[in-house]
């Protein structure tokens, strides 16, 4: 399975290096694919053997005049070949449109990156019923090559991110089953995954892994989740 940590705007460069070192130790003892997405200023030439380090964001360019962004040149310095695209915080806080996200996707696909592509509905769409919700999520697949061989999709309901709220296990399984019909890419669940619910979520049909935010900030907790995945036969 795929166990991924999105560190968001947390940890210094120094702390990130210790974090990755610690996670790499437990990842090496596991059969899981482990990804860590540090803050951009913490990207570095890590000596991790098993952990794949990715970037939380980049602009679809080699370099140029894009203040505040980084491009391919800055990623290549550290051998980064994995990117998160479409995260709800970039869609809703930073205002990225589906059109721009699709452009970013096409660019990094062209560069052969592994892409962790995030989709998920806000609370009002969830409350509007399943049809409205699925329609909203479907629009997030527009312009995205769902058969890209290095694609990983993460379903992250916006209302479940950082809130402690999660859909029921039945709901996660149900939505994952629907989303698997749109793409056979590995499908992760994200949104308030923690040590106390990770095992149940990982056991669900059509859940191929987890994308963890706040609970992954503690290497020990994240390692426990990696171990849980090892304990589950899939």
Tokens standing for 231?
Answer: 């304990």
Nearby residues of 204 by Cβ (< 8 Å), 6 or more positions away: 169, 172, 173, 176, 189
Write down the least CB distance from residue 233 to ligand 13P, Å.
Answer: 25
Q: CB 65 → ligand 13P: shortest distance, Å? A: 29
DSSP state of 81: -
Q: What is the spatial order of strands in the sheet that 82-85 belongs to?
A: 52-53, 33-37, 2-6, 209-212, 187-190, 151-155, 114-119, 82-85
Which residue, 2 or 212, has its beta carbon nearer to ligand 13P?
212
- 8 DSSP assignment: T
Structure tokens at 107: 């660019």
**Residue ranges in 45-84 that form contacts with ligand 13P under rule CB under 6 A:** none
Residue 212 is a binding residue for ligand 13P (CB under 6 A)? yes
Q: Torsions phi, psi of 78, nearest 5?
A: -110, 10
Residues designated catalytic: 87, 156
Q: Is 197 annotated as a binding residue?
A: no
Smallest gap, in angstroms, from Cβ of residue 10 to ligand 13P? 10
Select from 3, 2, 1, 5 the least CA-distant residue to 216. Answer: 5
| Interior angle at CA 125, CA 120 and CA 129, nearest 5 | 115
Q: Contact with ligand 13P (CB under 6 A): which of 74, 111, 214, 227?
A: 214
Question: Does 161 participate in binding ligand 13P (rule CB under 6 A)?
Answer: yes
Q: Does residue 10 have a known ligand-binding role?
A: no
| Binds ligand 13P by CB under 6 A, chosen from 38, 60, 86, 213 | 213
Q: Which is nearer to ligand 13P, 26 or 210 (CB)?
A: 210
| Nearest residue to 59 via CA among 105, 115, 98 | 105
Beta carbon nearer to ligand 13P, 48 or 84:
84
**6 touching ligand 13P, by CB under 6 A:** yes
Residues in 180-199 at the binding interface with ligand 13P, rule: CB under 6 A: 190-193
- 63 labeled part of a ligand binding site: no
* Residues 100-159 within binding reach of ligand 13P (CB under 6 A): 156
Binding residues: 6-8, 162, 192
The residues binding ligand 13P (CB under 6 A) are 6, 87, 156, 161-162, 190-193, 211-215
């Amino acid at each position: 399975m795929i166990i991924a940590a999105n560190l968001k705007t947390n940890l210094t460069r120094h702390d990130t290096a210790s974090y990755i070192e610690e996670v790499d130790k437990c990842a090496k003892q596991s059969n899981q694919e482990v990804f860590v997405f540090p803050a951009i200023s913490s990207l570095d030439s890590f000596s991790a053997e098993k952990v794949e380090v990715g970037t939380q964001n980049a602009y679809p360019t080699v370099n140029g005049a894009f203040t505040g962004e980084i491009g391919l040149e800055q990623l290549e310095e550290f051998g980064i070949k994995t990117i998160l695209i479409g995260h709800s915080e970039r869609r809703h806080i930073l205002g990225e449109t589906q059109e721009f996200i699709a452009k970013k996707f096409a660019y990094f696909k062209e560069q052969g990156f592994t892409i962790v592509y995030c989709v998920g509905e806000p609370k009002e769409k969830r409350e509007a019923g399943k049809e409205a919700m699925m329609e909203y999520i479907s629009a997030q697949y527009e312009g995205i090559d769902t058969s890209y061989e290095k694609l990983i999709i993460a379903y992250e309901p916006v209302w479940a991110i950082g809130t402690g709220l999660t859909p029921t296990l039945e709901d996660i399984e149900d939505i994952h089953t629907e989303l698997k019909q749109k793409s056979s890419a590995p499908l992760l669940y994200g949104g308030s995954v923690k040590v106390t619910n990770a095992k149940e979520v990982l056991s669900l049909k059509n859940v191929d892994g987890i994308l963890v935010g706040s609970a992954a900030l503690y290497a020990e907790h994240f390692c426990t989740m990696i171990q849980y995945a090892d304990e589950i036969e899939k």
